[in-house]
């Protein structure tokens, strides 16, 4: 930079030459990758297509720079109508395995194929019967990740850009990102997802609707038209409290700290009243369903669609980071957006 903060009037020729060499190196890596594609690539696209067809999610996992590339690949898949999100391999072992369902697949990224956290995740998923697509470097011997994967895609990158002076991932991550784009676009092509579809599915359509926040579409809101019921309140008192107000399909029950304790649906009401003449005098703590499936207030509509399709859950409590209800998403909210049908 010049002293004035503008571009240098006389840039260093050696620096420009070095920069061009870096870009040419990365470009050549992508070129070799394109030439190396074979039946394994088509098999991987088929696994992604089949996963989306059955309503599954493509989970993408990698550590370090691979994890960052994985986040972008997941975002690209999602933008093309294929549900996907990134999962940190270490966090998966500390609770995030609950994100994986039998309908899902996992795209595991590891240049060495020996990244312990990624290999451990792949081993668990294979035991559970989930397909793993591995993206690794080209190595003389088969890697641990490759042994666990249903299909492996290898990156023909012998060294990183920089002429051996620097070891930071460059050409390898560029090639991984390009391969992820190719997988996403080919899967979208198989699913006949076009640019026109993308435009139609933005704010006014299905894709845009699924990418909206659940708090934008839920009509029952705590403190406005959704009463929160204490655990010791009787069913009769709870019904009277909601009398004259627009009723949602369920009541949310909270503990003394205002955190969600349970849910009581219209279906529960019919069953309890028919089975027990004294149900109206019983406390909600005795009648509610404890620990219902919930969505966080930062969740997207697509997460609600997944809950509805997989568990046929018609009413989904939405809670904040402290577990306090902020509202209730009813299946009718999703039907109104034409994201699900009766």
CATH classification at residue 147? 3.40.50.10490
Looking at the chain, the whole-number percentage of residues with pLDDT higher than 70 is 87
Looking at the chain, the whole-number percentage of residues with pLDDT higher than 90 is 57
Same structural domain, 186 and 327? no
Same structural domain, 292 and 228? yes
102 φψ region: left (φ > 0), alpha (ψ -120 to 50), beta (else): alpha
pLDDT at 241 over 80: no
Same structural domain, 219 and 252? yes
Same structural domain, 309 and 213? yes
Torsion angle defined by CA atoms of residues 255, 298, 91 and 185, in that order, rounded to the nearest 10 degrees: 150
Confidence grade of residue 245 (pLDDT, cut at 50, 70, 90): low
Residue 342 maps to a domain: no
Contact 108, 132 (CB under 8 A): yes
pLDDT at 227 over 90: no
The tokens describing 1, both together, are 């930079």
Residue 1 maps to a domain: no
pTM for the whole structure = 0.58
The CA-CA-CA angle for residues 155, 145, 137, to 5°, reads: 15
Out of 47-51, 115-119, 246-250, 295-299, pick the least confident: 246-250
How many independent structural domains does the chain possess? 2
Among the listed residues 45, 74, 64, 22, the one whose alpha carbon sits nearest the alpha carbon of residue 190: 45
Same structural domain, 147 and 97? yes
Confidence grade of residue 172 (pLDDT, cut at 50, 70, 90): very high
Residue 66 maps to a domain: yes
HEC assignment per residue over the chain: CCCCCCCCCCCCHHHHHHHHHHHHHHHHHHHHHHHHCCHHHHHHHHHHHHHHHCCCCEEEEECCHHHHHHHHHHHHHHHCCCCEEECCHHHHCCCHHHHCCCCCEEEEECCCCCCHHHHHHHHHHHHCCCCEEEEEECCCCCCHHHHHCCEEEEECCCCCCCCCCCCCCCHHHHHHHHHHHHHHHHHHHHCCCCHHHHHHCCCCCHHHHHCCEHHHHCCEEECCCECEEECCCEHHHHHHHCCCCCCCCEEEEECCCCCEEEEEEHHHHHHHHHHCCCHHHCEHHHHCEECCCCEECCCEHHHHHHHHHHHCCCEEEEECCCCCEEEEEEHHHHHHCCCCCC
Same structural domain, 176 and 216? no
Same structural domain, 121 and 253? no
Residue 7 maps to a domain: no
Same structural domain, 104 and 242? no
- Whole domain around residue 89: which residue ranges? 13-193
Whole-number pLDDT of residue 4? 53
Whole-number pLDDT of residue 6? 56
Residue 147 maps to a domain: yes
Confidence grade of residue 113 (pLDDT, cut at 50, 70, 90): very high
Same structural domain, 26 and 160? yes
Same structural domain, 156 and 216? no
Residue 341 maps to a domain: no
Same structural domain, 128 and 258? no
Tokens 């996907």 belong to residue: 84
Helix axes 171-190, 65-79, angle to 10 degrees: 20
Same structural domain, 250 and 139? no
Q: What is the average pLDDT score of the chain? A: 87
pLDDT at 205 over 60: no
- What confidence tens digit (pLDDT) does each residue in 178-202 have? 999 999 999 999 998 865 455 444 5
pLDDT at 95 over 80: no
Out of 102-106, 188-192, 281-285, 331-335, pick the least confident: 331-335
Whole-number pLDDT of residue 284? 94
The CA-CA-CA angle for residues 175, 178, 179, to 5°, reads: 85
pLDDT at 1 over 50: no
- What confidence tens digit (pLDDT) does each residue in 24-55 have? 999 999 999 999 999 999 999 999 999 999 99
Final residue before a domain boundary, out of 132, 161, 193: 193
Final residue before a domain boundary, out of 164, 193, 222: 193
């Amino acid at each position: 930079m010049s002293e004035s903060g503008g571009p240098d009037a006389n840039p260093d020729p050696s620096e420009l030459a070095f920069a061009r060499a870096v870009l040419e190196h990365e470009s050549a890596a992508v070129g070799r990758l394109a030439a190396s594609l074979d039946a394994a690539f088509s098999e991987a696209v088929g696994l992604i297509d089949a996963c989306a067809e059955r309503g599954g999610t493509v989970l993408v996992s990698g550590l370090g720079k691979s994890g960052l590339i994985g986040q972008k690949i997941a975002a690209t898949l999602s933008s093309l109508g294929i549900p996907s999100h990134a999962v940190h391999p270490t966090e998966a072992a500390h609770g995030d395995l609950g994100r994986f369902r039998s309908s899902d697949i996992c795209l595991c990224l590891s240049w060495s194929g020996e990244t312990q956290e990624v290999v451990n995740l792949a081993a668990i998923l294979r035991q559970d019967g989930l397909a793993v697509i591995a993206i690794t470097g080209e190595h003389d011997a088969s890697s641990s990740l490759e042994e666990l994967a249903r299909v492996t895609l290898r990156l023909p990158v012998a060294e990183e850009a920089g002429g051996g002076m620097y070891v930071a991932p460059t050409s390898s991550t560029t090639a991984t990102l390009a391969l992820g784009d190719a997988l996403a676009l080919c899967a979208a092509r198989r699913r006949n997802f076009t640019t026109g579809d993308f435009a139609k599915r933005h704010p006014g359509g299905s894709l845009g609707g699924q990418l909206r926040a659940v708090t934008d579409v839920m009509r029952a809101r705590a403190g406005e038209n959704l009463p929160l019921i204490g655990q010791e309140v009787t069913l009769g008192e709870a019904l009277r409290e909601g009398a004259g107000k627009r009723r949602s399909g369920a009541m949310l029950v909270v503990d003394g700290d205002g955190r969600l304790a349970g849910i009581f649906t219209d279906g529960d009401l019919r069953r309890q009243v028919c089975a027990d003449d004294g149900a109206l005098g019983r406390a909600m703590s005795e009648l509610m369903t404890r620990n219902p499936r919930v969505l966080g207030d930062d969740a997207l509509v697509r997460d609600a669609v997944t809950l509805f399709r997989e568990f046929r859950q018609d009413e989904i409590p939405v809670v904040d980071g402290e577990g306090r209800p902020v509202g209730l998403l009813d299946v009718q909210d999703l039907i109104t957006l034409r994201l699900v049908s009766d």
